[in-house]
Amino acid sequence: MTDNARLLAQVRPADWLDPDPRSLYDLVVLGGGTAGLVCAAGAAGLGAHVALVERSSLGGDCLNTGCVPSKALIRAAKAVRDARVSADLGVTTTSRVEFSAVMRSVRERRADLAHHDSASRLTSLGIHVFFGAASFTGPRTILVNGRMLRFRRAVVATGARPSVPPIPGLMKVRYLTSENLFEITDQPRVLLVVGGGPIGCEMAQAFALLGTAVTIVEAGPRILQGEDVEAADLVARQLATNGVRVLIDTPLRQVSESGGQITATFDGGSISADTILVATGRSAHLEGLNLEQALVRHGPNGVAVDDHLRTSNRRVYAAGDVCSSLKFTHAADAMARVVIQNALFHGRGRVSSLVIPWCTYTSPELAHVGIPPTEAVRRGAVPITIRFADVDRSVIDGESDGFLRVHHDRGRIVAATIVGVHAGELIGYFASAMRRGGRLGDLAHDVFPYPTLADAVRKAGDAYRRTRLTPVVSSLLRRYFALVRKM
């Protein structure tokens, strides 16, 4: 059995028979991605009668076309990078990339993880799973495969899909997006990545390390816009070191294809490539939902929700990419938990009380939590920066490029950015600290094993406490020690 067949057997079984619908469900979930799965499993675990409708494959973007395959590809690219840098440690290895085997391992990892999201797991939890496109027929009814599902509450969790910009000619060429990227078997020789956001940068670097000649074209003034500028510049430098050419301020004017060669034109030049990957953001997936029938308002950013994730129909909620600008799996998961509480138990859980970090898994990783860096500066928050060059473990590992920067307002953490290896792991400390009140000085009391990167977290706490030593206190302390030395 191929890995894709193994995947589909779990998340979209070919011989699936929809169950006979109940006369009324406590919760009907539209979409079987992270948000939908967490809502459905959580509600069923509490005893609710739940139906889940998925039009394509359970697991949604994360399992099928997003986090899982992209991180598996990045893992293969890291093996190449490790082989290259090992010479600095006195170990010489050679690496040879067999691209079709790399992609096979990507698909294998995906199939290995599919059991978490499988149809059989959901039915074992008592959830009625329907495979088909759901659409509302009224404020309390949903149609799927010609059958009517009546609900007390529903949650729209239909996610997002790649948004493709209206570049003249683009629709006429064969282009890749995250939806078909992980199915390729032949290595692109020359890859043009349109968009320097997280997905564009992650994939550009991975393909470059695997041996493809890669160019990113970004319409804006820098890659990873919205992130700390110094941190994004560090990632840009590393991309260049890995052979990725980055063209900023370069909106594409025209794309055409001739003899299997794609040509993209911009002001003052053009690029040729055999493959083009469009990574210019993602927009809410609303097609066919008939939201008007359910009196659910929506706009350019997807389903409109209040802070409790309730839509304009008080019986209908939304969670995940379909209603949020924070399009991440862990955000979808956290929102789903808010929905369970609010939709089924009249709870008052608020999205605004969640602290949601994020990470771009380039090398180095770039992670952030809290208000945007520009907002932190505008509000006059004070930065404290710890360079990984000053953290023993980073130096030992030869991976000291990068830093941790915390912005605080009179000791309360308002934002943290980390750029460096394992930034995605470290940012969790700050997310956790911020949720518990976020006093920067408290971090100085935390004890971490030596030598670890986490030592940088304590150093940030120490650095803050040193700033609390006013000249008056310093001079008092000097006098105290002068006195005790005489005793």
Nearest to 218 by CA among 240, 196, 193, 191: 196
Q: What share of the chain is helix, strand, coil (3-state, %, to 5)?
A: 40, 25, 35
Q: How far is the CB of 72 from ligand FAD (least distance, A)?
A: 11
Q: How far is the CB of 140 from ligand FAD (least distance, A)?
A: 17
Query: 7 or 322: whose CB is closer to ligand FAD?
Result: 322
Query: 30 or 149: whose CB is closer to ligand FAD?
Result: 30
Between the alpha carbon of residue 40 and those of residues 52, 128, 255, the distances in Å are 7, 10, 43
Nearest to 235 by CA among 382, 392, 403, 375: 403
Query: 76 or 134: whose CB is closer to ligand FAD?
Result: 134
Query: 75 or 412: whose CB is closer to ligand FAD?
Result: 75
**Tokens at residue 450, please?**
């030596």
C-alpha span between 382 and 409 (Å, rounded): 6
Q: How far is the CB of 442 from ligand FAD (least distance, A)?
A: 27
C-alpha span between 156 and 318 (Å, rounded): 5
Query: 400 or 417: whose CB is closer to ligand FAD?
Result: 417
Q: How far is the CB of 323 from ligand FAD (least distance, A)?
A: 8
C-alpha span between 245 and 226 (Å, rounded): 21
Q: How far is the CB of 201 from ligand FAD (least distance, A)?
A: 11
Q: How far is the CB of 450 from ligand FAD (least distance, A)?
A: 30
C-alpha span between 173 and 95 (Å, rounded): 34
All residues at 6 or more sequence positions from 92 whose CB lies less than 8 Å from its CB, including other chains: 86
Query: 53 or 216: whose CB is closer to ligand FAD?
Result: 53
Query: 170 or 289: whose CB is closer to ligand FAD?
Result: 289
Is there a contact between 392 and 455 (Cβ–Cβ < 8 Å)? yes
Is there a contact between 44 and 54 (Cβ–Cβ < 8 Å)? no
Q: How far is the CB of 355 from ligand FAD (least distance, A)?
A: 15
Q: Which residues bind ligand FAD (CB under 6 A)?
A: 30-36, 53-56, 60-62, 65-67, 70-71, 133-134, 157-160, 178, 199, 285, 288-289, 320-322, 327-330, 332, 361
